[in-house]
Structure 1
């Protein structure tokens, strides 16, 4: 299991982990992007638990999101898990998708696209990337630099 948190003032802090290093690196990259492009509110804190589910053969990231003006929502997860031997880039895309979904459940849109909607995480030439399909293509972890 990996336990970690992100805060708007401190970034990502990993408390403990027995998962391969790529899982913690993924949270750090996503944490860089959590500071920008929030719409309809803002995220103040996220607690993370990444658990390897033996019977499913995959790691699932559970997130507990706190937005400004509200309490924690409780741990939630939706979407798919990721296998232990996935590449760093595959882990980043999977975790970004799961975190994005849990943030959306609070009513906050993240990360907001330039023209409309939210960006989505995809693999582009084997690099974890945010895209809206048209204009924004930034490596996950470098979204603040994208204009």
Structure 2
């Protein structure tokens, strides 16, 4: 007959405690690695690894800048360039160039069929546009 004086030990609890201990030791090792890197930098205001990790949490967040504000800061006179660009006429594209581009688009769509999930009707429409361009090129050549 056993006296049951010692507390019962649950194997799951032992495994869980071992896992927690492993995670903690990995965390300590990572902190040590970070501290070594910080020490190599030799900053003017030294800090420890824990402060480094907590830095993002302590950082005071400010209002996010809009894309326009960022562009204004990065690209000076951006608005003047846009006005100049809008005044530029569109480049003329010849009929033969359009037909060549349609060929490339059709080939691309066939090669990337799975990415675009193209239906046959949609590809036929692009081919129809190419055919119209071909007819216009034919009539243009005939007229000249």
TM range (shorter): under 0.3
Higher normalized strand content (fraction of residues) = 1
Q: TM-score, normalised by structure 1?
A: 0.18
Between 1 and 2, higher relative CO (CA 8 Å, sep ≥ 6) is seen in: 1
